[in-house]
């Protein structure tokens, strides 16, 4: 159907559209894909011919309905495989991304469906991101960043914005994981750091940390 490279572009466009709530510029896409703008232009033309994106010269791209659907299916596979790796094969949540980047391109509708069933139709991947169902629907939870919480407010940790190994290992080291309740005890206006209560422990975290943790409030 589509090549690995095409699927990766679609995925990148999908994420950038969400992030900026707008069409995606050639340069932004080049940065996301870690490639050059000229390569992006070439690929965009190809995707446009295949009607996966809507493209007008110098005006950036956005996904067509087909492109959107395709991107979501790739993301669905990525997140299902991540869940599989963590839940069934004993991987840590910071080790799964690169392998899922490969597995997401395996072509078999039946494989995806059966894997989903085998895993019990999970709703979220190990990083708290929603897993689209077979029809491409997924919940956009009413989550917010921990840094947005005020003093004495609390919520449940439901996801990470940055899912780099470094950040995830930091969380592991400090025993912060999805599902745990976090309460803000103090907030330092000067540097944005905060003192939080998690599992009876008090912990001081920098703004960089609270800016990358998603919280759901009751």
Nearer to its own copies, 38 or 102 (CB): 102
Residues within window 69-88 making contact with its own copies, judged by CB under 8 A: 85, 88
93 binds, among DNA, its own copies, none (CB under 5 to 8 A by kind): none
**Which pairs from 129-135 meet CB under 8 Å and 24+ separation?**
129/79, 129/159, 130/79, 131/76, 131/79, 131/80, 131/83, 132/72, 132/73, 132/75, 132/76, 132/79, 133/76, 134/76
Identify the residue among 37, 99, 141, 195 touching its own copies (CB under 8 A).
Answer: 99
118 binds, among its own copies, DNA, none (CB under 5 to 8 A by kind): its own copies
Identify the residue among 34, 98, 135, 166 touching its own copies (CB under 8 A).
Answer: 98
164 binds, among its own copies, DNA, none (CB under 5 to 8 A by kind): none
Q: Do residues 196 and 185 lie in contact, with contact meaning Cβ atoms separated by under 8 Å? A: yes
Q: Is 208 in the site for its own copies (CB under 8 A)?
A: no
Distance of CA 29 to the CA centre of its chain: 16
The token pair at 216 is 């759901």
Rounded to a whole number of angstroms, the minimum distance from the CB of residue 66 to DNA is 17
Q: Is 120 in the site for its own copies (CB under 8 A)?
A: no
Strands (E) in the chain, as ranges, are 53-55, 61-63, 143-145, 154-160, 181-187, 194-198, 201-205, 213-216
Q: Is 110 in the site for its own copies (CB under 8 A)?
A: yes
Rounded to a whole number of angstroms, the minimum distance from the CB of residue 107 to DNA is 14
Q: Is 90 in the site for its own copies (CB under 8 A)?
A: yes
- Tell me the backbone φ, ψ of residue 29, rounded to 5 degrees: -70, -40
Stretch that binds its own copies, among 15-23, 93-101, 136-144, 194-202 (CB under 8 A): 93-101
Q: Is 39 exposed, middle or buried (0-12, 13-18, 19+ CB in 10 A)?
A: middle
Q: Is 92 in the site for its own copies (CB under 8 A)?
A: no
Rounded to a whole number of angstroms, the minimum distance from the CB of residue 196 to its own copies is 33
Identify the residue among 27, 42, 65, 106 touching its own copies (CB under 8 A).
Answer: 106
Beta bridge partners of 143: 216
Q: Which residues bind DNA (CB under 7 A)?
A: 3-6, 25-28, 35-46, 55, 57-60
């Amino acid at each position: 159907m589509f090549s690995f490279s095409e699927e990766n572009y679609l995925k990148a466009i999908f994420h950038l559209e969400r992030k900026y709530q707008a069409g995606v510029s050639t340069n932004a896409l080049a940065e996301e894909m870690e490639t050059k703008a000229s390569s992006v232009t070439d690929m965009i033309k190809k995707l446009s011919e295949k009607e996966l994106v809507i493209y007008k010269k110098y005006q950036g791209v956005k996904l067509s309905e087909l492109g959107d659907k395709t991107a979501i299916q790739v993301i669905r596979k990525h997140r299902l495989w991540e869940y599989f790796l963590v839940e069934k094969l004993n991987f840590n949540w910071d080790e799964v991304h690169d392998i899922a980047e490969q597995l997401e391109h395996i072509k078999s509708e039946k494989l995806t469906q059966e894997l989903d069933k085998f895993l019990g139709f999970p709703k979220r991947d190990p990083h708290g991101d929603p897993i689209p169902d077979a029809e491409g629907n997924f919940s956009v939870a009413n989550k917010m960043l921990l840094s947005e919480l005020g003093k004495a407010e609390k919520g449940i940790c439901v996801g990470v914005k940055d899912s780099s190994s470094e950040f995830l290992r930091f969380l592991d080291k400090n025993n912060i994981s999805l599902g745990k309740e976090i309460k803000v005890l103090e907030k330092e206006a000067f540097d944005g750091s905060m003192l939080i209560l998690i599992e009876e422990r008090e912990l001081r975290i920098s703004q960089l940390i609270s800016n990358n943790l998603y919280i759901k409030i009751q």
